[in-house]
Amino acid sequence: MEKIKTAKKSKTREDVKKLIAEIARMDADKINEEDIIRDDLGIDSLMAVEMLAAIEKRLGISIDEAKAFNVVTAGDLIDLVMLYSKKRKVL
């Protein structure tokens, strides 16, 4: 069971990185969780809204915009998506 959870987390992590990469127009392999979304990845506020909408649509989740506003790094975004993915499964 633990292997399945780890595999799902890994897939979610990769899915989010791919979506970030699409918006930032870069290779997903070059995105590190420590990268600051605005400074390191060059994602401005409009791109961030587009990225959030794409994540919600593709992963079938709804993320609180106030919480999304506090996201600074790619890792923060991945953690937030994983949190909302868990909540969706509980509901």
Q: What is the helix, strand, coil percentage profile of the chain, to 5?
A: 70, 0, 30
The encoded tokens of residue 57 equal 């649509």
CA distance 44 to 49: 9
What proportion of the chain, given as a percentage, has pLDDT over 90?
76
Q: State how many domains the chain has.
A: 1
CA distance 69 to 82: 16
pLDDT tens string 56-87: 999 999 999 899 999 999 999 999 999 998 77
Q: Is the pLDDT of residue 53 over 60?
A: yes
pLDDT at 12: 87
Write out the residue range of the structural domain in which residue 46 sits: 2-90
Residue 36 · residue 30 · CB < 8 Å: no
pLDDT at 85: 86
CATH number at residue 9: 1.10.1200.10
The length of the chain in residues reads: 91
pLDDT at 90: 43
Q: Is the pLDDT of residue 89 over 80?
A: no
